[in-house]
Amino acid sequence: MRVGTARKTDGMITETNDLRRCFGSGDPLYEAYHDHEWGVPVHGDAALLERIVLEGAQSGLSWITILRKRESYRTAFRGFDPDAVAAFGAADVERLLHDPGIVRNRLKIESAIVNARATVALRESGRSLEELFWSYAPPPRTTPYATWSEVPSSTPESAALAKALKKAGFVFVGPTTMYAAMQACGLVNDHLEGCIARDR
């Protein structure tokens, strides 16, 4: 499981200040993300592009590292406006490689631009990233997982979504990364049984 891969404490719910939280306790930024964002449905091409880019940026890093850089990412990538990022060129890549506020990895930076262009191409073909992304939402699970060891790292739906996105020109969108995005964007509710955010 990524929290993206939520690297959680031993698969147990932590209790802090009378709140039962399935991850994120102890860091205000992480707590806010857990309580108010993770698992809440996300709509709109710019918002979904942001999540896809950030999930790709996380590869090899902890999610809290990406959360701490999130505002810098929003500034660097023009609020993840697909048209604005799609217009980035070589000079923008070099600029971003010198931006300490983001992960300065050429492949990850270039993938964000490629994915913005793919988002624009979808729109120009009469579709949208939102439509494609949400078409792979599985039926709701009525029984919550009890521990993180039960939560899958990928599913048939995330594999199918990854395949569809790759066909549409997206990169850095493997099945595990896309399952993390599905969790983050509310296509599935993987807050553990007893978590304060489970029923929100």
Token output for 3: 């929290």
List the structure tokens of 137: 């939402």
Q: Is 33 an annotated catalytic residue?
A: yes
- State whether residue 15 is helix, strand or coil: strand
Which residue is catalytic, options 38, 63, 134, 179?
63
Q: Is 63 a catalytic residue?
A: yes
User: Which one of the listed residues 33, 38, 136, 179 is annotated catalytic?
Assistant: 33
- Measured over the CA atoms of residue 101, residue 52, residue 14 and residue 12, the dihedral's sign is negative
The tally of CA atoms less than 13 A away on the side-chain side of residue 174 is 10
Tokens of 28: 């205000």
Residue 134 annotated as catalytic: no
Instruction: State the catalytic residues.
Output: 33, 55, 63
